Amino acid sequence: MNRLQPSGLVMAFAWLVLSFLALPAFAVIPVSFTDTRYLAMPQDELSLQHWRTFLSSEQWLGSIWQSLWIAVVSTLAAVTAGTLCAIGCWRIASALSEKVRGLMILPMAVPTIVYALGLYRLYVDLDLVGSALGVVLAHSVTGLPYVVLTVSASLSNLDPRLEQAARGLGASIAQTLRHVIVPNIIPGVLSGAIFAFIHSWDELVVVIFIGGRALFTLPRRMWDGINDNLDPVIAVVATGMILFTLLVLTAELSLRGRRARQGG
Amino acid sequence: MRLASRDKMGKHTVYWLIVLPAVLMLVLLYLVPLGNVLLTSVTDPKPGLDNYALLFTSASVQRSLVTTVRIAAITTGFALLLGYGVAYAMRAASTRTQRLMLVLVLLPFWISILVRSFAWIALLGTQGPLNSALVAWGIVDEPVSLVRNETGVLIGMIHVMVPYAVLTLYANMRGIDAGLVSAARSLGASRWQAFRLVFLPLTAPGLVGAGLLVFILSLGFYITPALLGGGKVLMIAEYVAVQINDTLRWGLGTMLATTLMIAVLGTLWTLSRVVDVKRLFGT
């Protein structure tokens, strides 16, 4: 029986904290069905009026569409560059390549506000303020750390001799990558893609600075809405975002299971 | 030495080539903008360290720094307390319960900070359910202000930070042999004694790691304080944003941003000297 035996009080405390963590966000679901015109729980009955407003709003739907394609394109860029970088560093395995891999994590450590400031200045010079391309570039580079981390984790379970064997048998580097390495680290690549996607989909601070007057991704439109008038429509959007996140998280958890099995 | 490493570079040329795109992206689109922030902080409006002197002379800058450090410190204290309880329970629980607890910890982690801040506004606002309940039960006469002030900022930030504390503390606790606690118990220690004299000291590295992590992450917060503070609780990131967007004081804004970055990266670097960061986060 080498197990900790916490008292009932400790367990109760832990469950209380866990509900404090998990539950509050779901409050937006009943609020989205409110029959009031202001932000509140439903008073007399459930109403779909704010859902209707949302579904007929070109602005909100346009923002969803914009956020979606920006996230997809940035994810593709981050996954391609990040995976290649992680594989290269894994194969080279020198002090320098370790430093490069460490450097890739930098965007996770530096406060986003600092980066947003610098990027805004750069984009003023390059005339990229308010352009979707500018946001895609920013989200690609800040998505890199997630991909490099998850792919590196997958690679650490892979025997380097596999690559040497393939090369020894005459496979080109491209063939080795395509047929030997990538198939073995696919769960890591997909996990990285999911993280990079969520990162872009949720990202707000950079967009606030470089979005200019015209570019409204979904988070930025929510941000403006919360600051302006606290319309209950925001609760509808928030509900949608929570459901979407749950979906993606479920996918990630099942991948994590697969990755664990792959690691043996 | 140098010759040998150059030879190695040659052997790995192809692999360096596939590393290159990511490195170029990072340099051109990340390091260049950061460098620009640094440069602006010592050149705008005129070359020199005048902007940095404001750290010591400007009352509003100092007020913002004090607010930031105070909120980050309180957040850290609560995140460690709440996180320790959860991590401890997770360490003790059966595998199945553990998995459920982990999901509950990760769930808020992945819900957008914007959505979570908004949910707190809906829950804690004067027309929100919490205030309705308090008034209905006669605990208070009028709705109490729980958001658009420092209380709101703290609630929101603690909520964001507890998962980081749990994950770091749990990674540390997982490596502790529970047999040590059992041994102390069988030798006559009370439950509390066994915890305080055996288990707690072993989690000290985890507490330091989690504490520093939560503290430095809290320093740079923007969205949560801006939404839940209602413009009244100016932490440093929001203060910077105001300098840039409203008053166009680039020198002051970039100086504070540089200071923030140095504080965060400096702490992380120190942390990496003291403990193995990778092991701390249980990778």
The CA distance from B113 to B107, in Å, is: 12
Per-residue model confidence as pLDDT tens digits over A118-130: 999 999 999 999 9
CA B65 to chain centre: 16
pLDDT given at position B135: 87
Count how many residues are written for chain B: 283
Nearest C-alpha neighbor of B162 from the set A17, A249, A110: A17
**Chain B touched by A88 (CB under 8 Å):** yes
CB contact under 8 A, B114 and A18: no
Per the CB < 8 A criterion, the answer to whether B205 and B279 are in contact is: no
Minimal CA separation from A18 to chain B, in Å: 6
The CA distance from B55 to B64, in Å, is: 10
Mark residue A170 as left, alpha or beta (left: phi above 0; alpha: psi -120 to 50; beta: remaining): left
pLDDT given at position B283: 40
Per the CB < 8 A criterion, the answer to whether B149 and B229 are in contact is: yes
**Chain B touched by A121 (CB under 8 Å):** yes
pLDDT given at position B271: 79
**Chain B touched by A260 (CB under 8 Å):** no
Nearest C-alpha neighbor of A14 from the set B179, B175, B170, B129: B170
CB contact under 8 A, B21 and A121: no
Q: Within 13 Å of residue B142, how many CA atoms lie on the same side as its CB?
A: 1
The residue behind tokens 């996990």 is: A191
The CA distance from B215 to B263, in Å, is: 11
pLDDT given at position A1: 44
The letter for the amino acid at B259 is: T
The helix or strand, by DSSP H or E, that contains position A114, with its residue range, turns out to be: helix A112-126
The CA distance from B280 to B204, in Å, is: 12
Q: Which residue of A lies nearest to B251 if distances are taken between CA atoms?
A: A117
The CA distance from A137 to B90, in Å, is: 40
State the burial class of residue A68 (Cβ atoms within 10 Å of its Cβ: 0-12, 13-18, 19+).
middle
Chain B residues in contact with A106 (beta carbon < 8 A)? 26, 30
The CA distance from B230 to B233, in Å, is: 7
Q: What is the ipTM of this complex?
A: 0.89
The CA distance from A207 to B20, in Å, is: 27
Minimal CA separation from B133 to chain A, in Å: 12
Tokens of B35: 């460098």
The CA distance from B208 to A156, in Å, is: 28
Chain B residues in contact with A141 (beta carbon < 8 A)? 25-26, 29-30
Cα distances (angstroms) measured from residue A208 to each of A74, A130, A214, B50, B156: 17, 10, 11, 28, 20
The letter for the amino acid at B72 is: A
The letter for the amino acid at A79 is: V
pLDDT given at position B10: 60
Regions in chain B scoring below 50 on pLDDT: 1-7, 281-283
Cβ neighbours for B139, distance < 8 A, ≥ 6 positions apart: none
CB contact under 8 A, B220 and A80: no
pLDDT given at position B177: 87
Mean pLDDT in order along chain A per 10 residues (264 residues): 75 96 92 89 91 94 96 98 95 91 92 96 94 97 96 90 89 89 92 93 95 93 90 93 87 74 54
Question: Nearest Cβ partner of B220 from A41, A113, A245?
Answer: A113
The residue behind tokens 């006559």 is: B188
Per-residue model confidence as pLDDT tens digits over A159-209: 888 888 998 898 888 899 999 999 999 989 999 999 999 999 999 999 999
Question: Nearest Cβ partner of A22 from B108, B127, B241?
Answer: B108
State the burial class of residue B39 (Cβ atoms within 10 Å of its Cβ: 0-12, 13-18, 19+).
middle
The CA distance from A65 to A177, in Å, is: 34
Question: Nearest Cβ partner of A241 from B115, B222, B265?
Answer: B115
Per the CB < 8 A criterion, the answer to whether B195 and B142 are in contact is: no
State the burial class of residue B180 (Cβ atoms within 10 Å of its Cβ: 0-12, 13-18, 19+).
middle
CB contact under 8 A, B118 and A248: no
pLDDT given at position A99: 92
pLDDT given at position B146: 87
Per the CB < 8 A criterion, the answer to whether B113 and B160 are in contact is: yes
**Chain B touched by A151 (CB under 8 Å):** no
Nearest C-alpha neighbor of B257 from the set B235, B242, B237, B243: B237
Report domain extents, chain B. 1-43, 49-280
Interaxial angle between packed helices B95-110 and B59-92, expressed in degrees from 0 to 180 and rounded to the nearest 10: 160
Cα distances (angstroms) measured from residue B172 to each of A130, A263, B106, B143, B199: 44, 22, 17, 42, 11
Per the CB < 8 A criterion, the answer to whether B75 and B218 are in contact is: yes
Q: For domain B49-280, say whether CATH 1.10.3720.10 is its number.
A: yes
The strand ranges marked E within chain A are none
The CA distance from A120 to B245, in Å, is: 11
The helix or strand, by DSSP H or E, that contains position A8, with its residue range, turns out to be: helix A8-22
**Chain B touched by A103 (CB under 8 Å):** yes
CB contact under 8 A, A4 and B181: yes
Question: Nearest Cβ partner of A249 from B14, B21, B110?
Answer: B110
The CA distance from B257 to B220, in Å, is: 9
State the burial class of residue B141 (Cβ atoms within 10 Å of its Cβ: 0-12, 13-18, 19+).
exposed
pLDDT given at position A26: 92
Per the CB < 8 A criterion, the answer to whether B123 and B228 are in contact is: no
The CA distance from B252 to B241, in Å, is: 11
Identify whether A219 is preceded by a cis peptide bond (ω within 30 of 0): no
Chain A residues in contact with B104 (beta carbon < 8 A)? 18-19, 21-22
